[in-house]
Amino acid sequence: MQNLGVKRTGPLIVLVLVLVVAGAVVGHLLGRSAGFGPGKGPGKLRQVSAIVGSEKARFFADPEVHQVLARHGWSVRADAAGSRQMPTRTADYDFAFPASKAAADEIRQHGNPAGDDVVVFSSPLAVASFVPIVDLLQTAHLAARDAGGVWRLDLKALADANRRNLKWTDIQGNTAHRVARNVLVATTRPADSNSAAMYAVLLDRATGGDLTAVTKLFTDQGAVDSTSEEPFESYLRSGRDYAPMVLVYEAQFVDHAVNDGLTGGQTLVYPTPALVCEHTIVPLTQAGVEIAKLLATDHDLQRLAAKHGFRTADATLTAPVFGKVRPGDAPLPDSIDGAVPDPDYKAQHTLLAKLEERMS
Amino acid sequence: MRKSGLLFVVAAALVLGACTSGTKGDPAKPAESEGPLLKGSGTLRVLASSELADLQPILADAKQATGVDVRLQATGTLDGVENVVSGNAAKQYDAIWFASNRYLQLHPGAGDKIGTATKVATSPVVLGLRQSVAAKLGWTEHRPTWSEIAVAAGEHKFSYGMTNPASSNSGFSALVGVAAAMAGTGAALTAEQITPLTPRLRAFFAGQDLTAGSSGWLADALVKQAAQQPGHGVDGLVNYESVILSLNASGRLSEPMTVVYPADGVVTADYPLTLLAGVSGVAEQTKTNYAAVTGYLRRPSVQRQIMAKTWRRPALPNLALAPEFGPKGGPLPELPFPGRLEAANALIGAFGDDLRKPARTIYVLDLSGSMKGERIQGLKNALIGLTGADTSLSGQFSRFNGREQVIMVPFSTKPGQVRRFDVPEGDVQPTLEQIRSYAGGLAANGDTAIYDALFVAYDQTAALAKEDPDRSTSIVLLTDGELTAGANVEAFQARLPQLPRVPVFTILFGEGNVAQMQRVADLTGGKSFDARTGSLPAAFKEIRGYQ
Task: Specify whether the CB–CB gap between A223 and B102 falls below 8 A.
Answer: yes
Query: Same domain for B215 and B292?
Result: no
Using a CB–CB cutoff of 8 Å, tell me whether B119 touches chain A: yes
Domain span including residue B59: 25-119+272-311
Q: What is the pLDDT of residue A334?
A: 85
- CATH code of B394's domain: 3.40.50.410
Q: Residue A128 forms beta bridges with which residues? A: A246, A268
SS3 at position B219: helix
Interface confidence, given as ipTM, is: 0.90
Task: Specify whether the CB–CB gap between B100 and B274 falls below 8 A.
Answer: no
Using a CB–CB cutoff of 8 Å, tell me whether B315 touches chain A: yes
Query: Same domain for B301 and B434?
Result: no
Asked if B36's CB is within 8 angstroms of A223's CB, the reply is no
Query: Same domain for B133 and B96?
Result: no
Distance from C-alpha of A90 to C-alpha of B201, rounded to nearest angstrom = 46
State the average pLDDT over residues A207-223.
Answer: 97
Query: Same domain for B462 and B539?
Result: yes
Q: What is the pLDDT of residue B68?
A: 98
The crossing angle, in degrees rounded to 10, of helices A286-297 and A299-307 is: 70
- CA torsion angle B155 B157 B160 B166 (round to 10): -20
Residue B203 lies in a domain: yes
Residue B325 lies in a domain: no
Query: Same domain for B526 and B384?
Result: yes
Residue B127 lies in a domain: yes
The chain A residue lying nearest B180, using CA atoms, is A222
Q: What is the pLDDT of residue A263?
A: 87
Distance from C-alpha of B170 to C-alpha of B167, rounded to nearest angstrom = 9
Residue A115 distance to chain B (closest CA, Å): 23
Which ranges of chain B have pLDDT less than 70? 1-33
Helices and strands in chain A: count of H runs, count of E runs: 14, 9
Radius of gyration of chain A (CA): 20
Task: Specify whether the CB–CB gap between B525 and B234 falls below 8 A.
Answer: no
Q: What is the pLDDT of residue B31?
A: 62
Asked if B317's CB is within 8 angstroms of A237's CB, the reply is yes
The structural domain count of chain B equals 3
Residue B330 lies in a domain: no
Using a CB–CB cutoff of 8 Å, tell me whether A26 touches chain B: no
The 10 Å Cβ neighbour count of residue A8 is 16
Question: B38, B100, B334: best mutation site toward chain A, by most A Cβ within 10 Å?
Answer: B334
Residue B4 lies in a domain: no
Query: Same domain for B47 and B103?
Result: yes
- CATH code of B156's domain: 3.40.190.10
Residue B348 lies in a domain: no
Distance from C-alpha of A324 to C-alpha of B164, rounded to nearest angstrom = 51
Residue B13 lies in a domain: no
Tell me the pLDDT tens digit for each residue of B104-126. 999 998 999 999 999 999 999 99
Query: Same domain for B286 and B409?
Result: no
Q: What is the pLDDT of residue B227?
A: 87
Query: Same domain for B283 and B421?
Result: no
Q: Which residues of B touch A223 (CB under 8 A)?
A: 102-103, 105-106, 188, 336-339
| Mean pLDDT across chain A | 89
Put simply, the chain B residues between 213 and 242 with a CB less than 8 A from any chain A CB are none
Q: What is the pLDDT of residue B8?
A: 41
Asked if A219's CB is within 8 angstroms of B339's CB, the reply is yes
For B339, the closest of A222, A226, A243 (CB atoms) is A222
SS3 at position A244: coil
Query: Same domain for B138 and B108?
Result: no
Asked if B186's CB is within 8 angstroms of A85's CB, the reply is no
Q: What is the pLDDT of residue B503?
A: 96
Query: Same domain for B198 and B149?
Result: yes
The 10 Å Cβ neighbour count of residue A353 is 11
Q: Which of A142, A136, A177 is nearest to A156 (CA)?
A: A142
Percent of chain A, pLDDT > 90? 80
Query: Same domain for B260 and B277?
Result: no
Query: Same domain for B370 and B511?
Result: yes
- Whether the predicted model's global pTM rises above the 0.80 cut: yes
pLDDT band at A229; cut points 50, 70, 90 = very high
Residue B18 lies in a domain: no
Q: What is the pLDDT of residue A201?
A: 95
Distance from C-alpha of B472 to C-alpha of B207, rounded to nearest angstrom = 11
